[in-house]
Amino acid sequence: MSPAVQIALAVALVVVVFLLLLVLRRDRPRDLVAPDRPAGDGQAEVLRLARAGRTVEAVKVLREQTGLSLLDAKRAVDALAAGGTWSPGPPAPGKGVDEAVRAEAARLLYRGKKIQAIKVVREHTHMSLADAKRYVEGL
């Protein structure tokens, strides 16, 4: 089989799969975001932007509202764009950190073990590496 025929078959297969996915999703009702806390029209705006394919703007608005990391906000927007739901997960960095975790991180930092302190914070919270580093450096 010539390379041109192989490419044409591959493109046709991709188109068929894409159309099949569209048909399967067409009859599925779209979920709405159920806010866990009053957020005015902020979550509605994120949902509208995500469903309109304006991912970058939706991620930006969500990050401003929640303080999520870029990766977590992108995952949430992707879930919304796919017709799923999302609700706020862990608190913003530094908020709601258990006192025992803070004390252990401070003890390690005092001993000069900054990396171990960051690991402790990350193991007991849902912070990103950058957020945990900023938290430990702020102790």
Average pLDDT across each block of 10 residues of the chain; the chain has 139 residues. List them in order.
87 83 60 44 76 86 79 82 65 62 86 89 82 83
**Do residues 137 and 131 lie in contact, with contact meaning Cβ atoms separated by under 8 Å?**
no
Considering the entire predicted model, what is its pTM?
0.36
Per-domain residue ranges for the chain? 1-30, 33-89, 99-137
Contacts of residue 63, Cβ cutoff 8 Å, sequence gap at least 6: 69, 70, 73
pLDDT for the residue numbered 17: 82
